[in-house]
Amino acid sequence: MSYAVPVPRVPVGTTFDAAIEWLRVTFGSFFDFVDLIIQACVSTLSTLFFMPSATQFTLLAAAFVAGGLLARKHRKPTLIAIAVWAGFYVAELAAGLASAVITSLPAPLFLWAMNLFGAEYVYPPLILALLLLTALVAISFTAARERRQQVVAVAWTAALLLILVLHFVLGVQLSLIVAVLLSALAFTVAGWGIGLFSILGFLLIISMESWENAMSSLALILVATVVAVAVSLPIGVLAAQSRHVSTVVKPVLDFMQTLPAFVYLLPAIAFFSIGTVPGVIATVIFAMPPGVRLTELGIRQVDKELVEAGEAFGAPDWQILRRIQLPLALATIMAGINQIIMLSLSMVVIAGMVGAGGLGNDVYTGIAQGDVPVGFEGGIAVVILAIFLDRLTGAVTRYSPAARAQRASA
């Protein structure tokens, strides 16, 4: 006669906790590194949008001038100027080299600017940024010798001086200046309609005193979108090139899209605790599937005859992908990026429940405390950001090769 020996049942929660603890111990340094990088990116972008410094404005102007030089094939002098600036900046951080050089220079070189802008001391990174901008403008007038590049250099230098005078001399709020710059970007990319809507919408956000939270949410969305695109685009390309990869990826994407959004917060909190990072991680996982699907769809829809023509001319697979498939699939890929941004916006409120801050915190506070005005204002600000980002990303497809060819043939 045999007897069944009862097997003790291990609770699922205990197994999950053990697995989480093992992952923490094994990959703890990696999780710390990811936490540090995401925190730094979100914090930097939030500061840039909410309260940018004169140094950041100067580096932004230098970046646009350098971008024009690089686009016009003047790489060597531009990269040398950037490398010299980076070397001095690192030396300043490590040993205060720039501070030592500045203190050794005659005081009248800086006193007039300090008196004009009401500054009490000379900030070395600002001096280095101004020198970088000066070098790039000089390259635009000497090495480049192209009228359009010279106009770009003069325009961004004039814009920088105007911003510095408006804020530091006339006392205009930084939020108004940033709102105008974002609206100018919308006008340049998407036209006067979205530009007008942007300035009116941003002024409404400022009047509701939600600008800081809106910019914090915008920073979180941009970081999550960049990470999601960086992950989803290669996966979509692989799925388009290989049916085996597509077969494996599709059920995973189905699972990710059907799983409730709140569930993504559980492992993120388990690994990264409460704060901005779990909100970004959960947003990335939740928003990735449309990017993968539409990237795969866009590449598969490229005319096979064009691909065969590239192969006939002896182009390798990488060039065919970069020169033919990706440019022609750009409209569909941008639709996927647009969906990533929209899903990221939908996760803003949920991320606010785990301490991610931003507009999600306003909406969650309104729900938890029954404060209708606070929740409604946060929701209106989310809608304004959603329309701004949606129209901006949608207009980018106008600059794709397929769109340009269609306009040329019309």
Q: What is the DSSP string of 217-243?
A: HHHHHHHHHHHHHHHHHHHHHHHHH-H
Residues 227 and 234: their CA atoms lie apart, in Å, by 12
Mean pLDDT across 104-123: 75
Task: Name the amino acid, one letter, at 25.
Answer: V
Task: Name the amino acid, one letter, at 407.
Answer: R
pLDDT at 17 over 70: no
Are 74 and 146 within 8 A, CB to CB?
Answer: no
Residue-wise pLDDT for 219-256, tens only, equals 888 888 899 999 999 999 898 888 888 889 899 888 88
Interhelix angle 124-139/54-71, nearest 10 degrees: 20
Mean pLDDT across 122-143: 86
Quick one: which H or E segment has residue 256? helix 243-258
361 Cβ contact list (under 8 Å, min separation 6) = 213, 352, 355, 378
pLDDT value of residue 404: 64
Percent of the residues in the chain that have a pLDDT greater than 70, as a whole number: 90
Query: Please, which pLDDT band fits residue 16 given cuts at 50, 70 and 90?
Result: low
pLDDT value of residue 6: 55
pLDDT value of residue 7: 47
Find the angle CA(124)-CA(127)-CA(129) to the nearest 5 degrees: 110
Q: Is 8 helix (H, G, I), strand (E, B) or coil?
A: coil
Residue-wise pLDDT for 38-61, tens only, equals 888 888 888 888 888 888 889 989
pLDDT value of residue 53: 84
pLDDT value of residue 201: 92
How many C-beta atoms surround the C-beta of residue 374 within 10 A?
Answer: 19
71 Cβ contact list (under 8 Å, min separation 6) = none
Residue-wise pLDDT for 274-311, tens only, equals 778 888 888 888 888 999 999 989 888 888 888 788 77
pLDDT value of residue 76: 87
pLDDT value of residue 258: 85
pLDDT at 2 over 60: no
Q: Where are the alpha helices (DSSP H) in 96-123?
A: 97-104, 108-117
Q: Bigger pLDDT: 181 or 350?
A: 181
Average pLDDT, the chain: 82
Are 287 and 340 within 8 A, CB to CB?
Answer: yes
Mean pLDDT across 384-400: 81
C-alpha separations of 406 from 189, 270, 295, 299, 335 in Å: 18, 50, 21, 19, 18
Compute the residue count for the chain.
410
How many C-beta atoms surround the C-beta of residue 162 within 10 A?
Answer: 11
pLDDT value of residue 10: 47
pLDDT at 29 over 90: no
Are 241 and 372 within 8 A, CB to CB?
Answer: no
How many C-beta atoms surround the C-beta of residue 335 within 10 A?
Answer: 19
Are 286 and 224 within 8 A, CB to CB?
Answer: no
Which tokens is 7 given? 């097997």
Per-residue DSSP letter, 120? S
Residues 17 and 264: their CA atoms lie apart, in Å, by 16
pLDDT at 13 over 60: no
Burial (CB count within 10 angstroms: exposed 0-12, middle 13-18, buried 19+), residue 46: buried
pLDDT at 325 over 90: no
Q: Bigger pLDDT: 9 or 94?
A: 94
79 Cβ contact list (under 8 Å, min separation 6) = none
